[in-house]
Structure 1
């Protein structure tokens, strides 16, 4: 499965949120941490952005969105381990 990584301008366009709001939500556990692409660049998998957007649109409360973020980050970590052959 090919996964596209969205940089911050694309994430802002997809969510309608500002940079500061996205990073505040990361601190609050309401948004997944970014994927490091290089020493000075980060991005987010499109599937994670879509999942969080869908949760917000459906009106999920913050505690359920936090649980979703934990699940998304765990899935990302497990996929990384599988890719590395662990």
Structure 2
């Protein structure tokens, strides 16, 4: 199964978070870890970002995950 990998600029766009916040949240365990794609590039699985977004919506709405 092929999974879509989002690059950092796409992750920033779909989450609304700046780069510094993304990396701070990764360090604190609040955001999915990135996948190393090359010497100077990373990406995130689209499914992981979607799951993170769903968890934020559930937290807002008071829905148990």
Q: TM-score, normalised by structure 1?
A: 0.67
Structure number having the greater strand percentage: 2
Which structure is larger by alpha-carbon Rg, 1 or 2? 1
Alignment gaps of 5+ in structure 1 = 66-86
Alignment gaps of 5+ in structure 2 = none
Structure 1 runs of 4+ with >6 Å offset: none
Q: TM-score, normalised by structure 2?
A: 0.87
Deviations 1:7-41 (A, max 9, x none): 01100111011101100000110012110100110
Report the number of matched residues: 62
Greater relative contact order: 1 or 2 (C-alpha under 8 angstroms, separation 6 or more)? 2
Over aligned residue pairs, what C-alpha RMSD do you find? 1.8
